[in-house]
Structure 1
Amino acid sequence: MDSSDLPGDLAKMLVSEEQIRARLAEMARQIEADYEGKDLLLVGVLKGAVMVMADLARELKRHIDMDWMAVSSYGTSTQSSGVVRILKDLDTEIAGRNVLIVEDIIDSGLTLSWLLENFASRGPASVEVCALLRKPDAAKVHIDVKYAGFEIPNDFVVGYGLDYAEKYRNLRGVGVLAPHVYE
């Protein structure tokens, strides 16, 4: 789905599909260099990271393992509640593994902070974060992000996996949702 398929739903587009693909390719080259000779487990955070994880994994020119975890702190709201619920845990044991958490967006950082603590308690060799989008002005906690795609303003964004009430995930780029849609 393209922005032209959503007349009036988006206030503006922030990041195009082409920009996303180019940035994921750059990030993939850095990940390959950093993990050369090491095993690597990508952990995608459902549902938002599906597009990022799929495109990043296809861009990597090396073997990887993949798993998924589903956590929620949003429900149908446009702001994180800060209370994290595990909806689906990992199927893979991460003790002794190099884990790269793949996220669609980091805004408050509360959910990811909780996830990093949870993973650390499982004894991985390393845990790093790869996020397509980051909202520095929304941060409530500091998160070290080794691979960051784009810094964006503190607007409510949809597309490329990001949703509002389960809609807009299949938008090819990332856009700011028009306020009339969620008010």
Structure 2
Amino acid sequence: MELQILDKTFVPFISAAEIDKEIQRIAKDLHNNFQNEVPVFLVVLNGAFMFAADLLKHYTTPAQVSFVKVASYQGTETTGKVNQLLGLDVDLTNKHVVIVEDIVDTGTTITAIQQVINTQKVKSMQVAALFFKPEAYTQTVEISHVGFRIPNKFIVGYGLDYNKQGRNLPEVYQIK
């Protein structure tokens, strides 16, 4: 069924069941990577809040969670600039850090976050992204854990918005 958000029409793309299956797989992979370690999950707000909540429900061993808020979108287009709105509230020195991101397209946000993290002496840094657009990606930061590789089309739902609407949808819709 089509969905109208403001002036755009969206069609179903990825179901809630498919999303849950991939999140469980990513949580298991992360658990295997950090046995006997306590990683810091650095959640990128606003979009990654649903992914992070579900990921951390399935990551059942000790972990720390912190949040950073950045923005690089306006409407359906990336602005190419990152504005760090809310900084880190945890010391990352000598810690394993997992950046939890809803979607990686150009990679501008991930690169900016990596630059901030690089100022601290972390043990390791990995990126867990629920959605990845390889054809739009222009950076060099490795995206360690990917739920879905998707085409370079705008999506909404499951934390992703179009002009502040649609984040609450349990599944993902693609622009028509």
Aligned twin of 2:90: 92
Q: Residue type of the partner of 2:37?
A: K
Shift of 1:146: 1.0
**What is the RMSD of the two structures over their aligned residues, measured on CA atoms?**
1.5
- Residue of structure 2 equivalent to 1:33: 32
The counterpart of 1:150, out of the listed 119, 142, 148, is: 148
Q: In structure 2, what is the equivalent of residue 131 of structure 1?
A: 129
Per-residue CA distance 1:20-58 (angstroms, 9 max, x = gap):
101111111111111001111101000000000000000
**SS of residue in 2 equivalent to 1:117:** helix
1:70 alignment counterpart: 69
**Deviations 1:43-86 (Å, cap 9, x if unpaired)?**
10000000000000001121111010001112x33221221111
- 1:114 deviates by 1.5
**Structure 1 position 7, deviation (Å):** 5.3
List alignment gaps of at least 5 residues for structure 1: 179-183
Bigger strand share: 2
Task: Select 1:101's aligned residue among 99, 107, 116.
Answer: 99
Runs of 4+ in 1 over 6 A off after TM superposition: none
Q: How many residues align?
A: 174
CA distance in 2 between partners of 1:56 and 1:101 (Å): 12
Q: 1:121 aligns with which of 119, 122, 133?
A: 119
| Identity across the alignment (%) | 31
What secondary structure does 1:138 align onto?
coil
1:78-117: CA deviation from partner (whole Å, max 9, x where unpaired): 2212211110011111111111000000001111111112
Question: How far does the alpha carbon of each residue in 1:106-142 deviate from its partner, in whole angstroms, 9 at most, with x for none?
Answer: 0011111111121111111111100000011111223
